[in-house]
A = this chain, B = another copy of it.
């Protein structure tokens, strides 16, 4: 909040749409990658004797999670791009075929901001002189759609997947290196909570929600998810001797 309020205005706006997408992808991948394999490993470590199975399950989870999230991000970004193109083509048709309706829509957009017809008329006249600009205007102001960056889908998939893998290895390392599930669990809890706190603080700095609050929130999510997985696995393990 602090950072946002003091950032220079124009760079902030320009930076807003550019960086949000990539930062969001890293945040999505890293927060789930740090949290879910951590919670799964913690849960299993209380229920199975061998740390081999914990590592195996953790790595299988990282493979499954990074692919599912990466491909999911790819399709979501491609879907956004296609949605933009198809809506744009529709607007291009409509300003030609249903010019009057589209003019009325421009008046309606301005009316929502209490700009009356007479005050909106000169702007509409200017838009009508440049059909491309008019379509741009309708895309943004009628439909609220931004043109997605080119290659967004590939970049999004790779960013999410690699962030997930990077995050997922942190909680698993102790189970690979330390003998004894309980020792590994303790070490995994410590390093992962520290990693979650650091990641949360950095995220809070970047997104502008305040580093301390973000650090606490991120750590809590990981902790709660791990505690729930641990409790569930212990419970089921107890009932199934």
- Given A57-B44, A87-B4, A64-B226 contact (CB < 8 Å): yes
Closest chain-B Cβ to A73's Cβ sits at a distance in Å of 11
Contact A35 B4 (CB under 8 A): no
Contact A125 B119 (CB under 8 A): yes
- Given A68-B222, A134-B113, A61-B75 contact (CB < 8 Å): no
Closest chain-B Cβ to A180's Cβ sits at a distance in Å of 17
Within 8 Å by CB of A39, from B64, B105, B217, B232, lies: B64
- Given A79-B209, A120-B123, A144-B17, A47-B36 contact (CB < 8 Å): no
Per-position 1/0 for A165-202, Cβ under 8 A of B: 00000000000000000000000000000000000000
Q: A-side interface residues toward B, CB under 8 Å?
A: 1, 4-5, 9, 13, 16-17, 28, 31-32, 35-36, 38-40, 43-44, 47-48, 52-53, 55-57, 59-61, 63-65, 67-69, 71-72, 75, 79, 82-83, 86-87, 90, 101, 105, 110, 112-116, 118-123, 125-127, 129-130, 133-134, 136-137, 140-144, 146, 207-209, 217, 220-222, 224-226, 228-230, 232-233, 236-237, 240
